[in-house]
Every structure is written in C-alpha cells, then in structure tokens.
Structure 1
Amino acid sequence: MFHTRYTLRGTANILYRLGFSVQVPKHRAVEREEAAIEVWRREVWPAGKR
C-alpha cells in the first residue's frame, strides 16, 4: 500500500516496539498427560525427524 519494505529484523524491531512478543503459554493444561507426552517424545517424534 505504501511501497515500503522491511527486513525480517526490521519488522521484528517494529513489532517489539509496538508491544508484541513471542507467544509462549503461561500455564500448562490441566488435562496434560505426562506419560503420554513422554511416549510421544521417545517414539513418535524421532521417527518424524528422519
């Protein structure tokens, strides 16, 4: 619209100045199943990395 271009770093700086930040959850889900997550990390995730 205004024919202005920014680099990724420039865009990140502008967003930071406007108050935006990386989205990170503050709390974990109550329904979280640690055993199921451990199985997934050990078995499923490494198979997907190949």
Structure 2
Amino acid sequence: MRYAQGGGLTDAGRTARERVRLRAVERFENGQKNREIAAALRVSERSVERWRRQWRERGEAGVLSKGSPGRPRLSSAQIADWSGSWSVAR
C-alpha cells in the first residue's frame, strides 16, 4: 500500500509514534531484547531492530522524528522570493 506524503500520518500520529520509539529507548537502556520490546509496544521486531541501530549510532536523537518528508524545506519568505524571481525571469 502506498501512503500520501508524510507516510499517511498526521502530526499527532507522528508524535504518538515518536513516543513509542522513546519508550523503546527506555527498554534498550534496561537491556531488554528486541522481541520483548516489540511485543510490549505492539510493533514489529524489524522496527525495533532499526530503532536500536539508530539509537546506538546517534543516541536518543537518532530515534526522534525527522518530520514529514513532504513539507517544504524553504521558509515562506524564501518561497515568495523564489516565486517573484520566477515571474520576472519569464
């Protein structure tokens, strides 16, 4: 199944998923196994494996949400400036 931009989650949904990942971090620190964490948090073992790898590499920041991939990286002012130069160049 394909999802719309942002993986089909609202901001609230992304926040809820981030809370799950942070609960997983607490369990990593307590030495729990991936299988136990996956069952307790009702997620796949594969997700827990990925989160643990990110946690090892970058700490807690590694599992934090990076936001929706569909949101513009430019500010409104930058977009307006670019749009203005586009109409002039045409």
Fold shared, TM-score > 0.5 on shorter chain: no
Q: Which has the higher contact order (CA 8 A, sep 6+)?
A: 2
Between structures 1 and 2, the one with greater helix share:
2
TM-score, structure 1 normalization: 0.32
